[in-house]
Amino acid sequence: MATVGAPTITFPSGTTYSATDCIQVASFTNGKEDITYRCGGDYAHLSGTSTITLDFSIALLATDTAKVTALAPGATGIAEYHPFGDAAGRIEHTTTKATVMKADLSDSAGKVVNLDVTLVWDNVTSTAAT
């Protein structure tokens, strides 16, 4: 049976976003570029460059200027992602360097304003949180 997630995201180091920050959605992607070439009449594949991203959306208050500033495109730092919350034994993904590539505000009259963020990670370590 699946465990219900209560994600936490730490970026930059020391600033954690959790349920109290109204994380709307989070998506972690850890993949490799597929290098395809022909060999002996068949296609062959090699593992290429890593592509590691964390996309998430948080609801904002009108006074959340610190969050908008901390998550501005170009900001870099250490990052952690805990899809089930930061508790011992639960899945933890960490990186020594993440860069904010995109931070979009989505809104409409009478609706909640969300900050939609894309972090690109230079590397990833996936372990159990301690």
The C-alpha atoms of residue 19 and residue 38 are separated, in whole angstroms, by: 49
Domain extent for 113: 8-128
Residue 56 forms part of a structural domain: yes
Residue 3 forms part of a structural domain: no
Residue 66 forms part of a structural domain: yes
Buried b (16+ CB within 10 A) or exposed e, 40-67: eeeeeeeeeeeebbbebbbebeeebeeb
Q: Give the pLDDT band (50/70/90) at residue 2.
A: low
Residue 2 forms part of a structural domain: no
pLDDT recorded at residue 126: 95
Residue 1 forms part of a structural domain: no
Q: Give the pLDDT band (50/70/90) at residue 127.
A: very high
The tokens describing 69, both together, are: 């500033």
pLDDT recorded at residue 55: 96
Number of domains in the chain: 1
The C-alpha atoms of residue 98 and residue 76 are separated, in whole angstroms, by: 5
pLDDT digits (tens, 9 = 90+) for 47-69: 988 899 999 999 988 888 888 89
CATH number reported for the structural domain that contains residue 41 in this entry: 2.40.30
Q: Which residues contact 70 (CB under 8 A, 6 or more apart)?
A: 11, 12, 15
